Structure 1
């Protein structure tokens, strides 16, 4: 069961055909970065329409039984997610409303501090706000995964401590394996492990070791070192693969409405544009090669199953049933 906990960009029928041919069971697309409630509802409307148009290829998963049903019927399960909490529009009641509409994963912050807490790019991480605590408990109650991928270290640690259910880092790597502000400290990863959470190792070049971009064996070796850090039950896949992206999409991701200045996101002045895809993952449908790579890295069949999707399925079961 191949589960990718984070992709982004513009999905269409061709993308789903590629994912199906590549052996995917489940993927979480990014429905929004900076959008408020109305725009987020528009995104949900778009995805519901796409689910009807592509019902032979995909279905929207509200529970783990839907993921299993998608696999049985040869379709892709889609777990709907957002990379920011702006969809709640500062209203605690909206957490439940969006959950009822099928949203199952929400990142507390994107690249800026917001009403819930701090992002990984702030110079000072002020920690989890009171509203952040309220939102996390509401997400726990309604069955929504708390995602800490772009969240600052202090805010992440406090969120993990506060959450009553396992949390996720859907797309990041260990900072001890590749030093970058977007990657996660050992302290955060150990807390994630103790909480029962899962990290999805990324294949996004700007925050991934060169060797892990060059070959699938290099990437699987990075996964193995992550398992050494936090254990086999807490590591999965979250490639951060992007589909059909245009320059305006990168501008929106990096700048939103909050600035007119140049922003590089996880890139830099030396690498300002879109990051090149890893040499072994030029197309999303090639992700299935990870299975053999994990075997060559020394993982047995049961361990590989956990990394490929079993750990995400366990977390989803615990959070949204």
Structure 2
């Protein structure tokens, strides 16, 4: 089984089928980027409808045990997530309420500094704000995993210290292997290791680089180098793969409502709107080549299992609250 710690886009039955064809047993979706509370509830409602309409092949998972059970039944476990904390809309009580609606993973910031803390793209990372500390404590209590993928390094380190439970970087790579503002310093990765956290290895070309996208062996070599930094228990998969994205989706993801100008996110001026997928990951179902790729670069069967699913399951068991 493969668990993908983060995907996004417009899922449909065909997307579910391609994930299952790729031996994916669980995936964290992206219910929103910039949306407030009401829009986020609308998104959750649409996801519930979609899963209900495809209940023969998909089910929403609330616990680590749910993921194992759903996957064991040959279905896809959907783990509800958001890439920003806007859904809480400044209200501490909303954290528990969204947890009760099934949300299990929330990123503190998305590209911009917000009332919780600093993002990876700010000139100065402000660190975790007072409200951010309160939200993390509430997320710990409510059973929502703290995600710091687009969060600045200082704020991420603060979050690791404040959180009473291990946190995640669901989809990023190591800056020491490929420099990009979206990637994480070795200090952050080691702090995750030391506190039981997990980093999901991304396959998004803009933060992975052409070298590591050239073949499955090259990408798995990157994974092995990240294991050298983080240890075998703190590295997993978080491809950042998107489904059915078009130009308006990229504009919303990168610009939201906060700018009239251009913002390129992890891309840059002059680059294609949509980054080319890795050579080994042209179709969603190609994710199934990862286990053999990991074996080819020297990982044992137990290590392959940890990277593909066991590390995520351990983290989910430690952070998701049983309903």
User: Which TM-score band (shorter chain)?
Assistant: over 0.9
Q: Which residue of 2 aligns with 1:8?
A: 8
Q: Which residue of 2 aligns with 1:184?
A: 184
* Residues 177 and 209, structure 1, Cα contact 8 Å, conserved in 2: no
Deviation string 1:90-118 (CA, Å, 9 cap, x unpaired) is 00000000000000000000010000000
Counterparts of 1:201 and 1:241 in 2: how far apart (Å)?
Answer: 11
**How far does the alpha carbon of each residue in 1:135-194 deviate from its partner, in whole angstroms, 9 at most, with x for none?**
000000011000000000110010000000010000000000000000000111111111
- What is aligned with 2:215? 215
> What do residues 173-221 of structure 1 show as CA deviations (whole Å, max 9, x unaligned)?
0000000000000111111111100000000000103222110000000
Whole-Å separation in 1 of the counterparts to 2:266 and 2:102 = 29
Give secondary structure in 1 for the equivalent of 2:223: helix
Please state if 1:320 is matched with 2:317.
no
SS at match of 1:199: strand
Root-mean-square deviation (CA, aligned residues, Å) is: 0.7
Tell me which moved more, 207-216 or 241-250.
207-216
Residue 270 (structure 1) shift: 2.8
* Partner Cα separation in structure 2 for residue 203 and residue 272 of structure 1: 17
SS state at 2:172 partner: coil
1:297-308 counterparts in 2 under 5 A?
Answer: 297-308=297-308
Equivalent in the alignment of 1:168: 168
Match of 2:25 in 1: 25
2:119 maps to which residue?
119
Indicate the SS of the match to 2:233. Answer: helix
SS where residue 74 of structure 2 aligns?
coil
- Over 6 Å off, 4+ runs: none
Corresponding pairs, count: 321
**1: distance between equivalents of 2:221 and 2:204?**
16
Give the alignment of 1:71-110 within 5 angstroms. Answer: 71-110=71-110
Q: What TM-score, normalized to structure 2?
A: 0.98
Separation in structure 2 between the aligned mates of residue 218 and residue 250 of structure 1, nearest angstrom:
28
Aligned pairs for 1:263-302 within 5 A? 263-302=263-302
Give, in whole Å, the separation in 2 of the partners of 1:137 and 1:256: 28
Q: Whole-Å Cα distance in 1 between the matches of residues 288 and 208 of structure 2?
A: 19
**1:37 — aligned with what?**
37
- Note if 1:232 corresponds to 2:245: no
TM-score by length of 1: 0.99
Counterpart mapping for 1:248-259 below 5 A? 248-259=248-259
Secondary structure of 2:104's match? strand
Please name the residue that 2:55 is paired with: 55
Aligned partners of 2:300, 2:13: CA distance in 1, in Å? Answer: 35
Cα distance per residue 1:256-312 (max 9 Å; x no partner): 000001111000113151111111101111101011000011000000000001100
Quick one: distance in 2 between partners of 1:210 and 1:218? 10
